[in-house]
Each structure stands twice: as structure tokens, then as C-alpha cells.
Structure 1
Amino acid sequence: MEKTKPIKRHVALQPLSRQHHFGLLFSWKLRKGFHKNIETKRLQQYAKWFFKHEIEPHFKDEEKYLFPILEADNELIERALKEHRRLKRLFNNTKDPERSLHQLEEELDAHIRFEERVLFNEIQKVATEAQLKKIEEIHSNLEETPEYDDPFWE
């Protein structure tokens, strides 16, 4: 089996990649919750908390500071924005929460892997030093997310 080399991420993009790591952990925690038959309402509360503290600010930062580095009609940006809209709907869907959470767990994972392996690499290739410096300044003093108070996944 061929090993993929780790991606060398520019220091300015590392905070966003770290946030992606937390998104992958979120998906893992949902999977653990489903495996342990945790009540859907508890999983839903966690998803609501995670959206507010992690996803919503992360999407805003990507859309405001990172995506404009590529052209607005770039197919990768169009895909990322489409996936952002889809993920927001899944996070906020209350009609069939169990189904939405299952879809969310899978789709968020796939979205993060797309951004890390494809989109961020393209942005990193074309970004100017000034653009990267601006992104680095914006993310240099990110507040730490508070701990979630119901670790159902343990």
C-alpha cells in the first residue's frame, strides 16, 4: 500500500488546518456516539454546540479571507461553497436529526479531506506573501474553544 506524504502546509494556513482536525474529531465523536447508542438528542446538542463554536466561524473565515484568493468562478471554490451550504443545512436540520447527523458525520469528513488535499493546496500555490501574511495575522490570536461538557464519546 502506497503511503501518502504529509502535506507541507504554509504556516498561515496551519490554524485552519488545525480546525479541520477538530472537524474530523467531531465526525469521529459522532460515530462513537452512534456506536454506543447515545441518545440522538445528546448528539444533536453536541452538533449545535460544535456548529456555533467551530464550524460557523471557520466557514466565515474561509469564505471571507481564503476563498477570494482564487477566482470566484473557480470550480474548487464553487464546490467548497456548495458543500458549506449543504453542511450548514445538515447542522440545522431538526426534521430528521438522526439521519442528518449520520449524513453530517460522513459529509463533513469528506469535505475536510477535499479542502486539505485539494483546495488548500491550490490556494497555497497561488497566494501571494501579502495574502498569506494577512491570513496569518487574522488567525494569530484565535481564542481557544471551550471544552464541551458532555463527553458522550468516552
Structure 2
Amino acid sequence: MEKKKPIKRHKALQPLSRQHHFGLLFSWKLRKGFSKNIEMERMQKYAKWFYEHEIKPHFKDEEKYLFPILEDDNELVERALKEHRRLKRLFNDTKNPEKSLNNLEEELDAHIRFEERILFNEIQKVATEAQLEKIEEIHNGIEKSPDYHDPFWE
């Protein structure tokens, strides 16, 4: 089996990629919660916390600073924006939490992999040094969110 080389990410994009790592961990934690039959309410509270502290600011930054680097009608950006809308709906759906959290776990994971493997590579190819410097400047002070108080996945 061919071993994939790690993606060489420009340092300006590394904070956003690090946030993607936390998103993948979020999906893993939900999977663990399901496998341990954790109460939906506990997992819902975690998803709500994660959305407020991680996802909302991350999506906002991508949409405001990163996506405009590509042309307006870029199909990769359109796909990312569509997925952002879908993920926001899943995070905010309280009618069927089990179904929403199951979908969220799968779709967030797939979305992050798409952005990391395809969209970010495209942005990195066409971004000017000035654009990358601006992104780096904005994300220099990103602080890690506090740890969540109920580690149900352990």
C-alpha cells in the first residue's frame, strides 16, 4: 500500500488546520459516546459547546478571510459554503438529536478532509504572499478553547 505524504501546509494556514484537527477529534468523541451508549443530552450539550467555541468562529474566519482568495463562483468554495450551512443546521437541530449527531459526526469528518486535502491546497496554490500574511496576522492570536467539563468519551 502506498504511503501518503503529509500535506505541506503554509504556516499562515496552520492554525486553521489545527482547528480542523480538533474537529476530527470532535467526531471521534461523538463516535466514542455512541459506542459507550452515553445519554444524548450529554452529547448534545457537548456539540452545542463545540459549535459555539470552535465551529462558529472557524467557519466565520474561513468565509471571511480564506474563501475570498478564490474567484467568486469557485465550485470548491460553493461546496464548502453549502457544507457549512448543512453542518450549522445539524449542530442546531434539537428535534432528532440522535440522528443529527450521527450525521454530524460523519459529515463534519468528511467536510474537514475535503477542506484539508482539496480546498486548502487550492487556496495555498493561488494565494499571494500578502493574502497569506494577512491570514497569519489575523490568526496569530488564536487561543485554544478551554477544555470541556464533561469528558464522556473517556
Per the normalisation by structure 1, the TM-score is: 0.99
Q: What code does the residue aligned with 1:61 have? A: D
Q: Which residue of 2 aligns with 1:118?
A: 118
> Residue deviations 1:9-68, cap 9 Å, x none?
000000000000000000000000000000000000000000000000000000000000
RMSD of aligned Cα (Å): 0.4
CA distance in 1, matches of 2:95, 2:12: 39
Q: What code does the residue aligned with 1:133 have? A: E
Give unpaired runs (5+ residues) of structure 1. Answer: none
Q: Any runs of at least 4 consecutive aligned residues in structure 1 with deviations exceeding 6 A, and if so which?
A: none
Q: What code does the residue aligned with 1:60 have? A: K
CA distance in 2, matches of 1:144, 1:123: 24
Q: What code does the residue aligned with 1:5 have? A: K
Q: Which residue of 1 aligns with 2:72?
A: 72
Within the alignment, does 1:147 sit opposite 2:147 as a pair? Answer: yes
Q: Which residue of 2 aligns with 1:32?
A: 32
Q: Which residue of 1 aligns with 2:46?
A: 46
CA distance in 2, matches of 1:143, 1:23: 15
CA distance in 1, matches of 2:142, 2:102: 30
Q: What code does the residue aligned with 2:60 have? A: K
Aligned residues: 154
1:143 shift after superposition: 1.8
Corresponding residue SS for 1:151? coil
CA distance in 2, matches of 1:7, 1:52: 28
Instruction: Give the fraction of aligned pairs with identical amino acids, expressed as a percent.
Output: 83
Within the alignment, does 1:93 sit opposite 2:76 as a pair? Answer: no
CA distance in 2, matches of 1:65, 1:80: 14
CA distance in 1, matches of 2:109, 2:3: 20
CA distance in 2, matches of 1:15, 1:26: 17
1:132 shift after superposition: 0.1
Q: What code does the residue aligned with 1:63 have? A: E
